[in-house]
A and B are shown apart, each in its own frame.
Chain A
Amino acid sequence: MRRVELAVVGAGPAGLSAAIEAARHGVEVVVFDENQRPGGQLFKQIHKFFGSKEHRARERGFRIGEDLLKEARELNVTVELETVVSGIYDGLELVVTKNDRVEHLRANAVVIATGASENMIPFPGWTLPGVIGAGAAQTMCNLHGVKPGKNILMVGSGNVGVVVGLQLIQAGCSLEAVIDASPRVGGYGVHAAKIARTGVPFHLRHTIKEVYGKDRVEGAVIVEVDEKWQPVPGSEKDLKVDTVCMAVGLSPMYQLSKIAGCETVEDPSRGGVVPICDEYGATTVPGIYVAGDVSGIEEASSAMIGGKIAGASAALKQGYLAQDVFEERYAAFRKSLEQLRQGQFGHGMKGKKITHTQEGIEVSESLLCRGFVDESEILRFPGIPSEEIRMRGLTPVIECTQNIPCDPCREACVKGCIRIGESITDLPSLSKEVQCTGCGMCVAACPGQAIFLLNQNYSDGEALVVLPYEFQPLPEAGDEGTACDRSGNPVGKAKVLKVQKAKTMDGTAVLSMIVPRELAMTARFFRPSGSEERRA
């Protein structure tokens, strides 16, 4: 029987990170994955990640995936693709199926990193072709380059719903609405704001009543729900869509750990049934570790750290790592993980109503209920300069209003204009003396696309607004169009002054537009003339 020192099941961010960490200490590692390509869901993540530099913030997921594969190759990690681990039995014996052929092998240690699967909610018409998982939409758009549909309804406003919603627009689809039965947007407000300003309405407290169509989706009826989650009669809206994307949560894929004899527990805060594990990822079966979404639904950034912890633990167990070296590495991983779990979206915060930020500022109700910060609320946040400063010349305007673990803006400004306190979840603020050169690096660096540059005194009666832009066709200098507010409503005329693109901006264009001065704090999106007007 074949013998391996460490078998990793799943070549996603957690599995690859576990393999890399263990291999770094000399462990011989084999990673099994049922797919044709490694990387798990990383290669469909085309948005910039949050966090700090050590969490690879402001890098797009697919680039992180490429780097992980390169690292794994350099460390001689074997990745066996199209290989299904269908069972793990006594003595860490794995049953592995490849090309309809079954093999048994024995491992000294196993890391289970099987990830998660998408949830579904049933409703009349839920099985019609055209009702798809949000992950499926992302796979079709970002991996295969095919639009999943033309007119799309997104069900669910968590991070998956709002991130995939934006990616559908980037793919050229028309996102008709985002709905959620909850009264508040579940995902990061900045993600929601990116799509709200393109004109996509958010219908909170709405659920799907039915999807209709003869043999494929022809439309969807949504309905408002009351405090008791009951439909409000007469509040139905008929949306002409050909595709309905379901982003209603993920469930850990614990099944393999269960076969292996690991004890499981139902833990709603981790997304459902999960294998019981300690802080090192060790399950109740000696030698079996878990990492990533299978041990609790989180972001890919935390999955990678969880993977490293499990990989180091497996190396320690086999004597490849001295106890003190392990302790040192573990402490660093733990610290990094704790950072990501801070803030209002952190551990144990799910479902809690936040009324004030860490700084004691009242949160934006509009952001939670409509997906964008209302102009009347924005001035109270620390990243917004006073009118005096805005009239003095170019300055960043940082519309970051929630305590999210993220700090790339601080480093992006070469002049040190942007400050973040002790904790990376602190809201960014501006230094007293703003010396903005207009380089646009902070605008492009912000994964939330929440930083703008503004010169309210650009010329007599005009203001200059600089904003991040990730859509095609990319406008050019001289183009005329419409300035839209944070909800996507047209508010006036705009003219493009320039469009900056740079390798370091990694696909985020920085667009400067000239608008009437009174729109300086209103205009936050540019719509080229001739592009389709969105329904309000």
Chain B
Amino acid sequence: MRIKNHPILGEFDKGRTVAFSYNGAPMTGCEGEPIAAALRANDVIIHRYTSKEHKPRGIFCAIGRCTDCVMIVNGKPNVRTCVTPLEEGMTVETQYGLLTQEEAEAKGAVL
């Protein structure tokens, strides 16, 4: 899904490739790009499930406004993945419902 040789922008100036984990599975992305972009490049587009109806949600606005793309990142819930830069070794997990930090920890979110 990564764009190679764009007709106007040429090659994208991306950060170095780093490893992170998605629901425990190893993945790679570019350092500094939004977590959501790294996930999209790995064909992951479901970020969370809603609390009442358990419906999947993914990126909608991609600029940090709509909060549809929140996930649990490094054990912290409700992180907007479209505006949070990817760092080496991050743990990224699907979020189920709205969580407080305590609930996330109780559910064993920190892998």
Residues of A with C-beta under 8 A to B19: none
| Cross-chain contact of A36 among B7, B8, B83 (Cβ < 8 A) | B83
| Contact across chains for A170 and B8 when beta carbons are under 8 A apart | yes
Contact between chains at B6 and A133 (CB < 8 Å) = no
Contact, CB under 8 Å: A470 / B62: no
Contact of A133 among B4, B41, B47, B60 (CB under 8 A): B60
Which among A133, A146, A171 has the greatest number of chain B C-beta atoms within 10 A? A146
**Shortest Cβ distance from B65 into chain A, in angstroms?**
6
Contact B8 A470 (CB under 8 A): yes
Q: Could you say which residues of chain A place their CB within 8 Å of the CB of B55?
A: 127
Which of B6, B12, B68, B83 counts the most chain A CB atoms within 10 A?
B6
* A34 to B, closest residue via Cβ: B64
Chain A residues with Cβ under 8 A from B1's Cβ?
A: 146-147
Contact of A135 with B57 at beta-carbon distance under 8 Å, contacts A46-B9, A60-B8 already known: no
Q: Please, what's the 1-or-0 string for A135-148, where 1 marks a CB less than 8 Å from any CB in chain B?
A: 11101111011111
* Overall SS of chain B's interface: loop
Determine which of B4, B33, B61 lies in contact with A144 in the assembled complex, contact meaning CB atoms within 8 Å. Answer: B33
8 A Cβ contacts from A336-377 to B: none
Interface residues in B, total, Cβ within 8 A: 34
Is A131 in the interface zone, CB < 8 Å from B? yes
Question: In the complex, what residues of B have CB within 8 A of residue A172's CB?
Answer: 3-4
CA distance A117 to B37 in the complex (A): 20
**What are the residues of chain A within 8 A of B7 when measuring CB–CB?**
170, 470-472, 474, 507
- Whether B52 is near chain A, meaning CB under 8 Å from some CB there, is no
User: Complex formed: what's the CA distance from A147 to B47 in Å?
Assistant: 17
CA distance A46 to B7 in the complex (A): 10
B58–A130 contact, CB under 8 A?
yes
Complex: A507 Cα to B6 Cα, angstroms = 10
Give residues of chain B (70-95) contacting chain A, Cβ–Cβ below 8 Å: 82-83, 85
A140-B37, A216-B56 given; A133·B62 CB < 8 A: yes
**Smallest distance from the beta carbon of A48 to chain B beta carbons, Å?**
10
Q: Is A132 engaged at the interface, CB distance under 8 Å to the other chain?
A: yes
Chain A interface size, as a band, is 35 or more
Contact A136 B3 (CB under 8 A): no
Instruction: Tell me, rounded to whole Å, the shortest Cβ–Cβ distance linking A376 to chain B.
Output: 32
A242 — nearest CB in chain B belongs to which residue?
A: B45
With known contacts A46-B9, A472-B5, A472-B6, A132–B40 Cβ distance under 8 A: no
- How far is the CB of A98 from the nearest CB of chain B, in Å? 15
Pairwise interchain contact A144-B37, C-beta atoms closer than 8 A: yes
Residue A239 at the B interface, CB < 8 A?
Answer: no
In whole angstroms, how far apart are the Cα atoms of A171 and B34 in the complex? 18
B61-A140 in contact (CB<8A): no
A137 to chain B: which residues have CB within 8 Å? 62
Q: State whether A129 and B3 are in contact (beta carbons under 8 Å apart), knowing that A35-B64, A46-B8, A136-B63 are contacts in the complex.
A: no
Tell me which of B4, B33, B59, B83 contacts A129 (CB under 8 A): B59
CA distance A8 to B85 in the complex (A): 25
* B16 adjacent to chain A (CB < 8 Å): no
**Chain A residues whose CB sits within 8 angstroms of the CB of B8 once the complex forms:** 46, 60, 170, 470, 507
Is B107 engaged at the interface, CB distance under 8 Å to the other chain? no
B12 shortest CB reach to chain A, Å: 3
Are B2's CB and A135's CB within 8 A? no
Q: Told that A132-B59, A145-B12 touch, could you supply 19 new A-B pairs with CB distance under 8 A?
A: A35-B63, A36-B85, A46-B9, A118-B61, A129-B59, A136-B61, A136-B63, A140-B37, A145-B2, A145-B3, A145-B9, A146-B2, A147-B1, A147-B40, A170-B8, A172-B3, A470-B7, A472-B7, A474-B7
Closest 6 CB pairs of A and B: A129-B58, A145-B12, A136-B62, A144-B37, A139-B62, A129-B45
